[in-house]
Amino acid sequence: MSQRSPHLGFGLLVAAVAFILDQLAKWVVTVPLSLETQPGRSIEFTSFFNLTWAQNYGISLSMFSDQSPTTRWILVAVTAAVALGVAFWMTREKAKGDVIALALILGGALGNIVDRVRLGYVVDYADLHIGDFRPFMIFNVADACITIGVVLLVARALLLGEKAPAAGATPSAE
């Protein structure tokens, strides 16, 4: 039986911070800045970053975008199932780097689930661009956390490869 991750507490803290930062940023764009009440309004921060209101009824890249209640709850259920899977994986993961990556994914998923349950859509607002070229769709802190977490997992898997057997261990014959 595998033991609980020694980094689980830290991972849960990282997930909580990601979730809180996401919800705080969404509150700032909806309440003090009131972007949702002014569709099409954009606040320019730099020559390459604006705050622009967007309601995402789909998932990544607005795929499966549909404003029906059925699709909304299917997306909530699927995202919740993924979040539960990530949380379970995090409880078993021994590598601190992987726990951090999983925590970012979990915190981001929870942030977007809360939006979808509460509002029926995910609040997006971060608009990175180079002139008129937009390499990304408008996104939020949760999306950034999920993306960074996935990139970290993939990079660690590719760069670290399989872990070497412990000293004195004999490789199993397959």
115 is catalytic: no
Catalytic residue among 22, 98, 115, 124: 124
> Which letter, b or e, does each residue of 47-82 get, where b requires 16 or more Cβ atoms within 10 Å of its Cβ?
eeebbbbbbbbebeeeeeeeeeeeebeebbeebeee
The DSSP result for 2-43, as a single string, is PPPPTTHHHHHHHHHHHHHHHHHHHHHHHTTS-GGGSTT-EE
124 tagged catalytic: yes
Q: Which residues pair with 62 in a beta bridge?
A: none
Catalytic residue IDs: 124, 143
